[in-house]
Amino acid sequence: MIVSGKIKHFVNKYFLESMQRKLMATLLLVMMVPLLIFMLVSTHISRGAVQTSEITSNLSRMELSQSYIEEQLTWFDNFLFSALVDEKLVPSITTIDNITTTNSFNIQSYIQDKLFALYNANENILSVSLTSYGDKRSYKVERREFFVTNMIGTALQRNGKDSMFSVNSTTGTFTFSRNIYRFEDQKLVGRIDLNVSFDFIAHIAENLRSNEEESIMLVDSNGKLLFALDENNEAAPNDLSANFKQQHETNYFSLNQDYYFFQEMMDEQIALVKVVPEEVMLIGSKHIRQTGLLILIISICVTVILSIIISNQVAKPIVLLSKKMELVEETNFNVKIDSKRTDEIGILQRKFKEMIDRIRDLIEKDYKREMENRDAQFLALQSQINPHFLYNTLQVISGMALKKGAREIYEMIQSLGGMFRYITNKRGDLVFVWEEVQHLQNYLYIQKVRFGKNISIELFVDEQVKDAIIPLLSLQPIIENSFKHGFETQIEKGILKIDIQKVFDEIEIIIEDNGMGMSEEVLQQVKRKLSTDSYLYNRSIGLKNVDTRIKLYFGREYGVEIMSQQAEFTKVMIRLPFQEGSEYKNDDIASC
């Protein structure tokens, strides 16, 4: 299962998910399958054609070799017959009662000369023998020696004037025999035998063999080996004779992956056999197969090159276009697209380029519109003064004027004046943290005077963040919500904690009060409003306004988070990157 899963993953990743590779594989299949089928069919046909041609050629050569061998055998037969045409031969072996010693010596000398003449006529003649039935003697020349022996018993006689052919499987020789008849009464008086070695066919066998791996043999009717061109062929298969009978009409058969061609001679007493290994028999088809394989490899290389070229022409532009789309998906609209093609792919490229240009124009227009809206919102924010806050502040100032001296009234007016100056005099939307904290302290002084002992304020500012930048009026709107929604209707003493510090490479501001809190339903409504991408302009300067401006300047990963529990607490956390004013090269930083 694991292996099949890996294979499936590999196929999906490198083939199914790649249009270029799928097109290349399809082209290879379309071009290679017919080529492979043609290669297999042509190889099969060529194998059959070569086999037929080789069989025909070997049969023809075997017939020609048979003719040569039979001519040689006929020569030995005629040579033996010529020995009989001698008027002295018959009297020399006919018994004469009054033969003298001198005559006996002359007769024996004649027979010896006659037999030596026959023996020396051909180097393949092993022995020549003359048998006299009258005086029961046998004369023989063998190994250049002359032997005379007396026969014991009656010699075996076979009648007939034709030559007699016999094979000796043990010695690998053949013998031609002819009877000798007395002319006067046609009485059988003797026999002459010519024993010959089969080595005379060596040159015929050598011409018959066309490959060193082929074997040439001469066997008898029982399949026993009489002659072999190679010394390694010491024996012939046992079932040769049976195959001779079965394949008598075709003169060849296949045995043990070898082809056997044969020609029977001398009334099927001997047979010339040629053994051709199958690999030699089909060597022509092997060359054809190798040539075809070479052509196939070249065709595969050409096909691969063509498929790469075609797939690049068709699929590569689409693959490049998909990569351009991925870049556009990552909000990179400055991609360059080559649209010089005039086919459907070129049309697709041009349409996509037009679409990107339109999207870029729309984004630029929307961005400019959003920036204009932001500036308008900020200008509106700068010009806003909460009437309810001003009313309460004036009530406090008037009450103090009645009860206390001018010093307190002075401090109250100073704080209020500092707030007005901070809001109205800033020309940008980014300020230093210390400026925002200073403004916040003026605001908290007024609120503390207003609520008196009913409010406790704890403010902590990390020294590391004072020179960092923050959007204008990011803290007051949130703290104002604490007084407006958390403390106004609360009977118990209110506690407001403000913690501003650096956490790693971020500024984390936590504003927490123990006011009325929010129900779960109201809390979820506030969170949904914060997560909304669009900015709906209204006269509120609360959470959504602060969150939107932080995201506009620093990215969507920053902003405002809120947590609350009804009748317990409300906690607001503001996250923004730590960036010092000297590092932030922007005209939005207000001048001090």
Domain 384-577 has CATH 3.30.565.10: yes
Map tokens 């025999």 to a residue. 177
Burial of 489 (0-12, 13-18, 19+ CB in 10 A): exposed
State the pLDDT confidence band at 6, using cuts at 50, 70 and 90.
low
Relative orientation angle of helices 387-403 and 406-425, to the nearest 10 degrees: 160
Using the 8-state DSSP alphabet, how is residue 251 labeled? S
CATH topology of domain 86-200: Beta-Lactamase (3.30.450)
| CA gap 299, 34 in Å, rounded | 12
pLDDT tens digits, 560-578: 999 999 888 999 999 999 9
Contact 307, 31 (CB under 8 A): yes
Judged against a pLDDT cut of 50, whether residue 95 lies above it is answered with yes
DSSP per residue, 358-421:
HHHHHHHHHHHHHHHHHHHHHHHHHH---HHHHHHHHHHHHHHHHHS-HHHHHHHHHHHHHHHH
| CA gap 198, 172 in Å, rounded | 7
Using the 8-state DSSP alphabet, how is residue 542 labeled? S
Lowest mean pLDDT among 128-137, 172-181, 554-563: 128-137
How many whole angstroms from its chain centre is CA 423?
71
pLDDT tens digits, 321-335: 777 777 776 666 677
- The residues spanned by each domain of the chain are 86-200, 209-281, 384-577
More confident residue, 297 or 557: 557
pLDDT tens digits, 398-438: 566 656 666 677 677 667 777 767 776 655 688 999 999 99
Judged against a pLDDT cut of 60, whether residue 515 lies above it is answered with yes
| Three-state SS at 279 | helix
**In the 3-class helix/strand/coil scheme, how is 88-153 assigned residue by residue?**
CHHHHHCCCCCCCHHHHHHHHHHHHHHHHHHHCCCCCEEEEEEEECCCCEEEEEECCEEEEEECCC
| CA gap 553, 165 in Å, rounded | 122
Q: Are 86-200 and 384-577 equal in CATH topology? A: no
What is the pTM assigned to this prediction? 0.48
Buried b (16+ CB within 10 A) or exposed e, 378-388: beebbeeeeee
pLDDT at 411: 72
pLDDT at 540: 43
CATH number for the domain whose boundaries are 209-281: 3.30.450
